[in-house]
Amino acid sequence: MEVPAVEFAKMSKLQKLAALLIIIGPESAAQILKNLEEVEIEAVSMEMSRMPVVSQELQQEVLREFSEVAVQASSGILGGAGYARTALEKSVGLFRATDIISRVAPTPAPIASMQQIVNLDGQQLFNILKNEQPQTIALVTSYLAPEKTSQLLMRLRNDLRDQVVERLATLAPTPVEAVERIVEVLNQKAGVKGTRALNQTGGLKNAADVLNTLDRNVSQSVLLELEKRNPDLGQAIRQKMFTFEDLALLDANSLQKVMREVDMRDLALALKTASEKLKLALLSSISRRAAETVNEEISFLGAVKKRDIEAAQLRIIESVRQLEAEGEVDLSVATSHSSDEILV
Nearest to 199 by CA among 136, 109, 288: 109
- Number of structural domains, the chain? 3
CB 54 within 8 A of CB 19: yes
Q: What is the distance, to the nearest Å, from the Cα of residue 308 to the centroid of all Cα atoms in its chain?
A: 18
Cα–Cα dist 315/114, whole Å: 34
Query: What pLDDT sits at residue 229?
Result: 81
Residue 58 lies inside a defined structural domain of this protein: yes
Cα–Cα dist 102/92, whole Å: 14
Q: What is the distance, to the nearest Å, from the Cα of residue 194 to the centroid of all Cα atoms in its chain?
A: 33
281 and 309 housed in the same domain: yes
Exposure string for 25-41, b = 16+ CB within 10 A, e = fewer: eeeebeeebeeeeeeee
Nearest to 242 by CA among 336, 166, 163, 120: 336
Query: What pLDDT sits at residue 73?
Result: 45
- Name the percent of the chain lying above pLDDT 90: 10
Query: What pLDDT sits at residue 283?
Result: 93
3-state per-residue secondary structure call for the chain: CEECHHHHHHCCHHHHHHHHHHHHCHHHHHHHHCCCCHHHHHHHHHHHHCCCEECHHHHHHHHHHHHHHHHHHHCCCCCHHHHHHHHHHHHHCHHHHHHHHHHHCCCCCCCCHHHHHHCCCHHHHHHHHCCCCHHHHHHHHCCCCHHHHHHHHCCCCHHHHHHHHHHHHCCCCCCHHHHHHHHHHHHHHHCCCCCCCCCCCCCHHHHHHHHHHCCHHHHHHHHHHHHHHCHHHHHHHHHHCCCHHHHHHCCHHHHHHHHHCCCHHHHHHHHHHCCHHHHHHHHCCCCHHHHHHHHHHHHHHCCCCHHHHHHHHHHHHHHHHHHHHCCCCCCHHHHHHHHHHHHC
Q: What is the distance, to the nearest Å, from the Cα of residue 212 to the centroid of all Cα atoms in its chain?
A: 12
152 and 201 housed in the same domain: yes
User: Does the structure show a pLDDT above 90 at 292?
Assistant: yes
276 and 234 housed in the same domain: no
Query: What pLDDT sits at residue 27?
Result: 78
178 and 67 housed in the same domain: no
Cα–Cα dist 196/203, whole Å: 23
Query: What pLDDT sits at residue 146?
Result: 76
- 38-52, 266-280, 325-339: least confidently modelled range: 325-339
pLDDT: which is higher, 295 or 11: 295
Q: Which tens digit of pLDDT belongs to each residue from 203-253?
A: 676 677 777 667 767 777 888 888 888 887 777 777 677 778 888 888 889
Query: What pLDDT sits at residue 191?
Result: 61
176 and 269 housed in the same domain: no
233 and 123 housed in the same domain: yes
Average pLDDT, the chain: 74
In this prediction, residue 198 has a pLDDT band, given cuts at 50, 70 and 90, of very low
**Most confident region among 161-175, 209-223, 271-285, 327-341 by mean pLDDT:** 271-285
User: Does the structure show a pLDDT above 80 at 315?
Assistant: yes
213 and 322 housed in the same domain: no
Give pTM, 2 decimals: 0.38
CB 165 within 8 A of CB 207: yes
Nearest to 205 by CA among 94, 327, 320: 94
**How confident is the model over 292-313, as a mean pLDDT?**
88
135 and 63 housed in the same domain: no
Query: What pLDDT sits at residue 89?
Result: 56
- 58-67, 71-80, 197-206: least confidently modelled range: 71-80
Burial of 67 (0-12, 13-18, 19+ CB in 10 A): exposed
CB 204 within 8 A of CB 137: no
229 and 139 housed in the same domain: yes
Domain range for 150 is: 113-240
**How confident is the model over 153-160, as a mean pLDDT?**
87
pLDDT: which is higher, 302 or 213: 302
User: Does the structure show a pLDDT above 50 at 118?
Assistant: yes
Cα–Cα dist 257/328, whole Å: 8
CB 210 within 8 A of CB 141: yes
228 and 161 housed in the same domain: yes
**Residue 253: Cβ within 10 Å count:** 11
User: Does the structure show a pLDDT above 60 at 106?
Assistant: no
In this prediction, residue 329 has a pLDDT band, given cuts at 50, 70 and 90, of confident
**Residue 13: Cβ within 10 Å count:** 9
161 φ/ψ angles, rounded to the nearest 5 degrees: -60, -45
Query: What pLDDT sits at residue 1?
Result: 46
In this prediction, residue 200 has a pLDDT band, given cuts at 50, 70 and 90, of very low
**How confident is the model over 83-87, as a mean pLDDT?**
55
pLDDT: which is higher, 235 or 300: 300
Residue 334 lies inside a defined structural domain of this protein: no
209 and 265 housed in the same domain: no
The CATH number assigned to the domain holding 264 equals 1.10.220.30
231 and 293 housed in the same domain: no
User: Does the structure show a pLDDT above 70 at 103?
Assistant: no
